[in-house]
Structure 1
């Protein structure tokens, strides 16, 4: 582990509103305000939510932004400005930054839900969502990406589970086995039930894998958008429920729906140490599941 990873890291997770802009300068100004705010408070890792970039659809003609299929194509000419804006802010403030995800047209003409991660020197990588919701599959035409990645950054090795992906334990396990020290969960949910599914799944992944999880949701209403018209969630950072961490595993969580940042200090070395010295050995005991299932499941009649 590099020296940068041996010290605590200040993490900021956004509770991010979908807003409308008059022009690209409005988008750039908002992005700058948000990054400046977090960086001025000492944040080294900034996490923005799933589909936060859909606010760029407000720049499209009304007929395009109000149509699910048309807006996907309309957003593509804005990709270069979007990437350049977030990359420059990461470099300017010397932070690692997960930008809001957006629909991205691949070379085969299909659209994926892509989250870009930028380092403080301008290097970039992306993670595409792996498991699609019914809305994405059936109504919107956004498809699954190909494979997971682990990102080696100045703040640690990061894995990204985009919203619904967090509800599938084997994806988190694969990232942790590949060396991920911290899992990022950007989300966009339009009901309390959807938000709670992602939140509780994030907490479950933290317990199962003995890892910290950072959750960033969209909030508020954008009635002009058929894709992200209602947004419900609370930004939070979750840890294992074990020595030296909150008994409920909640390091921080927003108290209400007010847009803004939740910040916390994370000592990844202390979390990693739980795998050797914790009250339980969830990470190491993962393989016991297969051992217990190998004999099969017996049916027992009691009546």
Structure 2
């Protein structure tokens, strides 16, 4: 049994590094103090760093992401230090990162008790990211082998595409982390439905953490809505609804953790002893490259 913590992360204006570091530290200490072994924050949670910029810069879509780039080394050190000191796995959300080719990518790192374990980029960009923000998709999927189990990260919109989760499942993932950021209830439900479908199809667990609240100071994070949840297959020993845990409020007024206990052995068991074998019964001919219309 492992204890997971998914954060409904309220977008607050934190105007100094000290205020931000104290905020993230207190948040992580709270979850770790309640027994959480893995902490998940949402997509673009790292963009809260832009609150430290001058008002005109943080209020400009392009200037805000350019302005946080010098803060990244200190942010990475802070996250790694928290994971090491608290003895937890920490996925502190994602943020836009300027790569050597001059393009921004939406990147999520995973930290553990042993340090920085690597990162996963968002692969498929939404219209807003692509057309207005000019953030590019990454390439390739990463499987993280941890003491808690094998896991992957699919950032927000990526959960709406079945083949991405399928590739992670085929590589051995038991748990998928789904950090998300949605500004409408419809957007939240699109990601939620996708995440729950990925759990059903692949007989894995999917943990979702969303941004919440209003941030008029940030054109990228101005409106946020969503529930944190843990999704599992609907099968023997697991909830009939496929929802193992879900936060009560759609949009709380402050950041809060959803803590939930997950029996990964129970999730694995349904692949061999379940009512259905959705993971096994995904035949090769369903692969898009082999699909034939008759």
1:122 pairs with 2:106? no
1:228 pairs with 2:221? yes
Q: CA deviation at 1:296?
A: 4.2
Pair 1:218–1:297, CA change in 2 (3 A):
same
User: Which blocks of at least 5 consecutive residues in structure 2 are unaligned?
Assistant: none
The answer for the alignment partner of 2:262 in structure 1 is 266
The answer for the alignment partner of 2:208 in structure 1 is 215
**Distance in 2 of aligned mates of 1:32 and 1:238:** 27
Cα deviation digits, residues 167-193 of structure 1 (max 9, x gap): 000000001111111000000000000
Return the TM-score normalized by structure 1. 0.93
Structure 2 contact 65–96 (Cα < 8 Å) conserved = yes
Pair 1:123–1:53, CA change in 2 (3 A):
closer
Counterpart among 32, 37, 40 of residue 44 in structure 1: 37
Q: CA deviation at 1:273?
A: 1.2
Task: Report which of the two structures shows the higher radius of gyration computed on alpha carbons.
Answer: 1
**Distance in 1 of aligned mates of 2:269 and 2:227:** 28
Structure 1 contact 18–54 (Cα < 8 Å) conserved = no
Q: CA deviation at 1:290?
A: 2.7
Q: Secondary structure at the match of 2:115?
A: coil
Pair 1:295–1:233, CA change in 2 (3 A):
closer
Structure 1 contact 96–154 (Cα < 8 Å) conserved = no
The answer for the alignment partner of 1:283 in structure 2 is 279
Cα deviation digits, residues 223-270 of structure 1 (max 9, x gap): 100001000000000100000010001111011122301111111111
Structure 2 contact 213–223 (Cα < 8 Å) conserved = yes
User: Stretches of 4+ moved more than 3 A in 1?
Assistant: 293-298
Q: CA deviation at 1:40?
A: 0.8
The answer for the alignment partner of 1:133 in structure 2 is 126
**Distance in 2 of aligned mates of 1:152 and 1:119:** 11
Pair 1:20–1:277, CA change in 2 (3 A):
same
**Distance in 1 of aligned mates of 2:123 and 2:67:** 23
Q: Secondary structure at the match of 1:284?
A: coil
User: Which blocks of at least 5 consecutive residues in structure 1 are unaligned?
Assistant: 1-7, 299-303
Q: CA deviation at 1:294?
A: 6.8
Q: CA deviation at 1:63?
A: 1.7
Structure 1 contact 236–251 (Cα < 8 Å) conserved = yes
**Distance in 2 of aligned mates of 1:173 and 1:281:** 14
Pair 1:180–1:295, CA change in 2 (3 A):
closer
**Distance in 1 of aligned mates of 2:291 and 2:128:** 39
**Distance in 1 of aligned mates of 2:151 and 2:100:** 26
Structure 1 contact 130–165 (Cα < 8 Å) conserved = yes
Q: CA deviation at 1:61?
A: 1.3
1:62 pairs with 2:58? no
**Distance in 2 of aligned mates of 1:295 and 1:208:** 18
Q: CA RMSD in A?
A: 1.5
State how 1:10-49 maps to structure 2 within 5 Å: 10-49=3-42
